Chain A
Amino acid sequence: MALLEAIGIGKTYPGGVVANDGVNLVIEPGEVHAVVGENGAGKSTLMKILFGIEQPNAGTLLLDGKPVKFANPREAIDAGIGMVFQHFSLVPSFSVYENVVLGSEPKAGIRLDRHKAIAEVEALSEKFRLKVDPLPPVRTLPVGQQQRVEILKALYRNARILILDEPTAVLAPQEVQELFVAIRSLVAQGKTVIFIAHKLPEVLEISDSITVMRQGKTVGQVKTREVTEKSLAAMMVGREVSLRVERKATDQSERVAAVTGLRVVNARGTEVVAGLDLNVHAGEIVGLVGVEGNGQAETLEAITGLRSIAGGDIQVAGRNVSSMSVLERRGLGLASIPEDRIAEGLATGASVAENLVATRLNDPRYVRSGLLDLKAIRANAQKLIERFSIRVGGPSSAVGTLSGGNMQKVVVARELSEQPKLLLVNQPTRGVDLGATQFIWRTITDARDAGAAVLLSSADLSELLALSDRLIVLYRGKIVAAFINQPDLSPETLGAYMLGLSTQTSEEMQVALK
């Protein structure tokens, strides 16, 4: 008998968005069950229903064969379901044990029983091979350990079924392996794991069975050993997809950007970029590799002009730009696709047409004698919407109403509507579905083929490996390794450098640092 079963689940959000439409899911006890699908396929909604955050409009949930209804997460927790969200729910200044017991504290009188709490956390971490020190505040721990704290939290509440929402998205490859060890140990001790993912190789490695979702419906449920990466991808998208990007041979002799001895100090006085030397040439994509927070974002912001530098020099197209404003740098042919499209890339309340000309308010084509030329702005928007196949009601729709992938396309369209000399890209496809990802990859590669120098940072190693000509690994604001991208370069090799476990000698690096 299935442990947990969802039959014909339907969920329509107020506003008419159909997130789940007749979804079926059968979870057997003691298995690792992956749920895959593109963004917007309804995976998260389904999990929220299983965990009691959302209530379905239709369908039934069966737990141990008996129908159940969860009005809130508390009821799901009490029924033995635990969930680890993509964004952790940990209080940063609380210690590990405080976070684990929060909400179900062991008490002595009215007092929190600290010793008992610590002992229980230690016992759990021992039993399930989730090694973590119970005492330090969680904000001092690396992401991989924070995730363990989240899992311990669920186990402390006696979860039998553990839902992990894209757990590998934030981890370095070595940490992913450690997570998989823990998952196997959980399953070996009788727990059941539901694993939401979009990285297919990981799904194939860890899961026993897979449910594929597309556009709010379940496409099918398969045994992992019966499928391949290709057949899964086809099920997800509904057609054959290519995960490779074809690139032209380009002339890479012209140096477009030269960064020497760059130092960046953050608001609290910590050095986050520590003497970086970096060149980017026309017609190449240089990938900045690193666990988030090792200086990639700051480097890109420093070159864009969004962050003041504490030392060093930045040259773009032969000009020293260190003291130039963002607009002056853009005038030299710099374009930038920022990490957070909602906070930095777009004005979500403004229309698509307005966003598409936001960086060109000095351009006489759109602004004449201080007044906006609305006709030209609209025409420009219509042209770009078509060229970048942005799915939108029209040029005057507010950007905030678009899906993640289409918002990102608006950013990409604005930055690449004219061929840039230097393109800075940070997390171009985070939270973007497979179809849009392919399109964005293609667009960035086209810019490269046409002679742009591209500096790319991404948390997704497969994206870096798919796009880059050269890869530079940053650890604590320093370059620790550099590679020329070749088919045999593996994520594991990069991972060792990303985690600071090893460092290349300067001779080794020189090969790939031209």
Chain B
Amino acid sequence: MDILEKLTILSDAAKYDVACTSSGVDRSGAPGSLGNAAACGICHSFSADGRCIALLKVLMSNACAYDCSYCVNRKSNDIRRATFEPHELAELMIQFYRRNYIEGLFLSSAVLKNPDYTCEQMIELISLIRNEYRFRGYIHVKAIPGTDEKLLTTLGLLADRMSINLELPSNNSLQMLAPDKTRESILKPMGMIKDGIKENKTDLVKYKNTPQFVPAGQSTQMIIGATPETDYQIINLSEALYKKYELKRVFYSAYLPVVEDRNLPAISSKPQLLREHRLYQADWLLRFYEFQASELLDEKNPNFNLLIDPKCNWALNNYDNFPVEVNTAPYETLLRVPGLGVVGAKKILRARRVGKLDFSDLKKMRIVLKRAQFFITCKGKTVLGIKYDPESVLRGLISDQSWELAGPPMEQLSLFNDIKVIDTGSFNIMDSKKEEIRQAKIKFLNENSNAQSNNFILNESTLQSNEFFMRGERQKCLTGQI
């Protein structure tokens, strides 16, 4: 089998791994070696699905000894198998790196024979890259649960980031879909890596030349939508992973049906991309905005609102905290304003030191007011000089979204009915995301239709007429009539 064929099989098998980041470690180049690493991470390309390509993401082998039902590489699946020789993959990776195609390597593997043997093969490959090629760039390895601790330590000293896939959000689901793995076998090495990093940090203070153990930290990923866990369970799990295991990142991947199995969603089901998006937004709130999982969801409302992002949702439920005055609010409060990010809040902090800010100033500073306008005041005034209540704000927020998301694109008015040609073939992923929002919107509006001042019957056709959202509703929301 030639290398092109191997690369095709083994990158195809690796593509469902989410993490492709190269961040977390700064390492300058050195004479006689190759490569460096930047803590901010550098993407080198973006594939047709819009995801970043920073690393050469491949499996070392897809000849798996396990039989996890959600996985394409499971033993019982009839697919072509391939395994890279260490020198082959090392040369390929280095040649890609020299051409600035990639930032480093993301090495994962199916279980070859057993976890220990697989780990030994990985160590051989990465030692070759680090020692023979003197490579100082980024390497991310995926550890396999059940590997011997000593081997993991050796691997950790060669890699920048290590990750162990949590696979599924609960032990029950794991037992059902991945019988060869248990929650304990996954969490144990995670704990070991965490301790290793900690120990290594104290050693580094004592001895300058201690080799670094997983300097960019560890991450994990889980599949969502294949099993019945709620967002509340998932986000609590992530919070625990960040706090207890000091993970750098938790990745979520919407389940894409790849195999037929009675325990899995039907192969025709659509991936829950919007739900995945909301989980990532919430994940950001946990990591950078000092939110607690318990603030975002609770047992009564265990899932995220698909219509508005988690921060808006929180703000509406706690509307008595708003609006906040841009010119005086502390940083932590600004961070909690929907539509304001870390960069925006810092900009405000900086600019207000030299003068009072107005809405026009914020606009000039490129602060996006689309969502923030409902939650802030400048010099005591809201953008339109009126008071909002949560109800009107919610309407403002979702009808704003409808500009882009609701219904078909705007059409020229015509005296005659257009003949509609339904093209089912072009239903792509963007449409399915829109569709998800649209359905949620119809549901919401139907539930709240008595709140309408005018007697619109809310169904698909009123939604599609655009008129309702764009002219009437939106205008009213903005002027606070509702």
Do A and B come from the same complex?
A: no
> Which residues from chain A sit less than 8 Å from chain B, CB to CB?
none
